[in-house]
Every structure is written in structure tokens, then in C-alpha cells.
């Protein structure tokens, strides 16, 4: 399933949906074939009137077919649950990332406005500093004149 998801992730959205649908259909067909093999082996076992050794071999073949069928049934159920869970997790991760991206995009205009406000404040402070420097020059000039 991991390989299938990796291959499906290399496709476009429509291609990956089609790929996963084909893989699911193929898995389903293999499951039906396995069920048919169990039925065939059951008929062989029931119609076998040969020696005890031949009947034993057909019983072993039937047990093997039943085991394969059960294994495929379990794998199919696990894969279906896993696919649904993976899609659910991917959807939530995408939603979280989209919300984070939206937040960043919405903060960019606010950042620009904040920078403009800071620039205005800086210009205001520059003017005040210039006045303080001028007053300091005047005071230092008076002090210099008064000392002489």
C-alpha cells in the first residue's frame, strides 16, 4: 500500500484517483478469484471418491485456498481502512497548512501598515531629535559666550 500511495502521489489529482481506483478494483478481482478457488476446491473435495491419500491432498489444497482467501479478506479490509484514514489525515493536514498560509498572507498587509506607522513615528522622532540638537547648540553657544 505504501508503494501504491507513493506512485499515486506522483500523479496529478485525477490520475491518482484513477490509479487508486484501478488498484482497488484489481484487489477486489483477486479477492473474487480467491473465493472462486475455494468453491472449486470444495467441489473437488466433495466429489473426490479416490483413495484416502488423494482425498487428503485435496483437503490440504482446500485448506490452502481457504487460508489465502481469509488472508486476502483481512488485507483488503485493512487497506480500505488505512486508505480512508490516510485521506482523512491528509485532508486535515492540508486544512491546517492552508489556514497557516492564509494567516501569513493576511499578516503581510498588516506588516506593511505597521512598517508605514513605524516610518512615520521615526520621522516624528527625527524632527524632535533635530529640535533637541538645535536647542543644545543654542544652549552650548550661550554657555560658550557666557564663559568668555
Whole-Å CA distances, 13 to 39, 53, 87, 88, 112: 39, 55, 13, 16, 36
Q: Does residue 11 register a pLDDT over 80?
A: no
Which SS3 state, helix, strand or coil, does residue 12 take?
Answer: coil
**pLDDT over threshold 60, residue 75:** yes
Q: What is the pLDDT of residue 119?
A: 94
Q: Is the pLDDT of residue 4 over 70?
A: no
Q: Is the pTM of this model over 0.75?
A: no
Q: How many H helices and E strands in the chain? A: 3, 0
Place of cell 512598517: 115
| CA angle, residues 122, 125, 127, in degrees to nearest 5 | 110
- Residue 47's Cα: distance from chain center in Å? 53
Provide the percentage of residues in the chain whose pLDDT is more than 70: 85
Amino acid at each position: 500500500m505504501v508503494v501504491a500511495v507513493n506512485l499515486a502521489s506522483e500523479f496529478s489529482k485525477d490520475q491518482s484517483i484513477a490509479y487508486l481506483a484501478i488498484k482497488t478494483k484489481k484487489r477486489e478481482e483477486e479477492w473474487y478469484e480467491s473465493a472462486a478457488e475455494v468453491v472449486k476446491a470444495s467441489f473437488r473435495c466433495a466429489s473426490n471418491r479416490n483413495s484416502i491419500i488423494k482425498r487428503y491432498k485435496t483437503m490440504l489444497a482446500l485448506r490452502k485456498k481457504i487460508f489465502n482467501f481469509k488472508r486476502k479478506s483481512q488485507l483488503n479490509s485493512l487497506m480500505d481502512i488505512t486508505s480512508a484514514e490516510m485521506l482523512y489525515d491528509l485532508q486535515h493536514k492540508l486544512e491546517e497548512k492552508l489556514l497557516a498560509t492564509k494567516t501569513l498572507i493576511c499578516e503581510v498587509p498588516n506588516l506593511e501598515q505597521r512598517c508605514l506607522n513605524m516610518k512615520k513615528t521615526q520621522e516624528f522622532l527625527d524632527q524632535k531629535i533635530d529640535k533637541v540638537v538645535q536647542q543644545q547648540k543654542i544652549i552650548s553657544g550661550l554657555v560658550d559666550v557666557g564663559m568668555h
